[in-house]
Structure 1
Amino acid sequence: MLKIYKTDVAKKTNKIAQIEMDCWINLIAPSKEELIEVSQLCDIPIEFLEDPLDLEESARIEYDEVTKNTLIITDFPTIDDNNDQFDSYITIPIGLILGTDYIVTVCNRESDFLEQLIKKNVNTSMKSRFVLEILMSISAQFIGKLKQVNKQRLKIENNLRDSLTNKQLYNLMEIEKSLVYFLTSLKANGDVLTKLFRINSIKLYENDKELLEDVIIENNQGIETTELYTRILNSITGSYSSLISNELNNTMKTLTLFTVFLTLPTLVFSFFGMNVTLPIADKDPVSWIITLVIALIFVIWIGLALWRRRIF
């Protein structure tokens, strides 16, 4: 999908039909024909347009000296479509191509934060500023998604206090996976943001540098928040693992005690049930009471021994 926007003299960003000077070209899961068209019309290396479409592409900055285009690849969070049972997140790359006459964004999926930038009426002719606005929106996306992840964690934690189920544990695993994605991408994005200060192909004015510093601060806040939530989640999972092990031990101890107490009477009754001469007459009317008393004495004796050892 190919969308083109441009800011008019009234400083309002509108959608236009054709590629013009100082416009913003937004490519969403583009076809091969659209990539070739944009590459030829805007004099952009085809690799700059194709690389961000690879979901495994790492965040980086690349400059082409021939066409004077700068490619910035950064990650942003999105819902994992492969999990329809729980709102877990992954991160995917988006490419920002800053040329002399155009700004191009390339992504495999449609992103809401780009649509929000249109409503803010950003100036597409101020290319460096516009790129920084996108990077700030991406950092804000991470902060927003982290808050949602934390709300999910708190809800699961409250449910765990009432009952522990496999579904809740699987949901905690999904949250942990989301945090791993976030932390990896935020650190990679941080390296890209730091490099923007040193790269000469992107001209930054004083206001742009201040905005870039704000973006870096926002990104660092995302890293610290993600690390905090990860430590909390690890602590929760560790505590509940110990709780599960403790409950299993208690269950096994209870079953063992039942086995011991049921085995002792069985041994006594088996002994007196043998086909040999016994000290108790088999025709004595109180003989069965004597066997019961003997079995009870053994049970009480073993019970006292276990009680003294504080086994129960």
Structure 2
Amino acid sequence: MFVTYKSSHDGILEMIEKFEKNSWINITAPSKEELKEVSQLCNIPIEFLEDPLDLEESARIQYDEETNCTLIINDFPTIDVNGHQLDSYITIPIGIILGKDYIVTVSNQTTNFLEGLIKRNINTSMKNRFALEIILSISTQYIEKLKQLNKQRVKIESNLRNSLTNKQLYDLMEIEKSLVYFLTSLKANSVVITKLFRTNSVKLYEDDKELLEDVRIENNQGIETTELYTRILNSITGSYSSLISNELNNTMKTLTLFTVFLTLPTLVFSFFGMNVILPIADKDPFSWIIILIIAFIFVNLIGLALWRRRIF
């Protein structure tokens, strides 16, 4: 489906029913017929409309001399529908096409962050500046999602101090996966932002360059924050892995000590239970006490030896 907007004389973004010059066409999960219609009416290469629909498409800038159109592909964060109860994220591409008379955005999923632009006074006739506003909004989305991921990480960490469960570890894995998506996409977006400073196909005025600088700062902040959260998460998972290993070692050591202390009396009792002549008379009423004393001596000797070696 696609929706068309255009700025009114009062600077308000309004929805219109048909394509007009200097309008914005927002395309979401379109059919092939819709793509062909937009391509023909707006004189935009069909591949410019199809490429952003590929979830594996990389961020880039492409210019078509024949139609004088520029394609800017950026990745934006969205909820992972295949995730568990935790809010984890993936990144998918969005295409921003700067045509001669139109600006077109196309994505495979709903772009909720564009609703904020609709409520603002955006001039659709200033297509290049509008494109920068969209890219800035994408960078802002990363910062907001990173804050949410960090809040979830802090909550999981506080629960880990009380008890450690597989669910909490799986949640940390989901956060780590989201951070990997973010870092990869933010770095790819950074390359696109840098190219926008040098490209000739997107003409920028002084105000546009200042806005683009804000975009770069926001994107770099997202990269630094993602790297910081990744290091913190790796430190937490590494520390808890060490704790789990330490607890396992303590458990194994305790079981080993129990085995040793239970084995020694068994050896003594087995020796005196043999059907041969023994140093203690079998009819002596105190023989069982002597056997217990011998077993007790062995246990204490072994216990003393283990204590001196600081095994327990």
Q: What's the TM-score, normalizing by structure 1?
A: 0.99
The match for 1:234 is 234
The match for 2:127 is 127
Structure 1 residue 10: Cα displacement: 1.1
Alpha-carbon distance in structure 2 between the residues aligned to 1:248 and 1:115: 52
The match for 1:181 is 181
What is the SS of the residue equivalent to 1:194?
helix
The match for 1:303 is 303
After TM superposition, the structure 1 = structure 2 runs for residues 1-312 of structure 1, keeping only pairs within 5 Å, are 1-312=1-312
Alpha-carbon distance in structure 2 between the residues aligned to 1:217 and 1:292: 79
* Per-residue CA distance 1:164-218 (angstroms, 9 max, x = gap): 1111011111111000000000000000000001111111010000000000000
* Structure 1: segments with no counterpart, 5+ residues: none
What is the SS of the residue equivalent to 2:91?
strand
Alpha-carbon distance in structure 1 between the residues aligned to 2:307 and 2:201: 79
Report the AA paired with residue 256 of structure 1.
T
Alpha-carbon distance in structure 2 between the residues aligned to 1:306 and 1:98: 78
Alpha-carbon distance in structure 1 between the residues aligned to 2:12 and 2:303: 85
Report the AA paired with residue 229 of structure 1.
Y
Structure 1 residue 115: Cα displacement: 1.1
Name segments (4+ residues, structure 1) moved above 2 Å: none
* Per-residue CA distance 1:118-167 (angstroms, 9 max, x = gap): 00131111101100000000000000000001001100110011011111
Structure 1 residue 100: Cα displacement: 1.1
* Per-residue CA distance 1:46-65 (angstroms, 9 max, x = gap): 00000000000000000000
What is the SS of the residue equivalent to 1:21?
coil
Alpha-carbon distance in structure 2 between the residues aligned to 1:111 and 1:27: 10
* Per-residue CA distance 1:57-76 (angstroms, 9 max, x = gap): 00000000000000000000
* Per-residue CA distance 1:272-297 (angstroms, 9 max, x = gap): 00010101111111111111110000
Alpha-carbon distance in structure 1 between the residues aligned to 2:271 and 2:310: 30
Q: How many residues align?
A: 312
* Structure 2: segments with no counterpart, 5+ residues: none
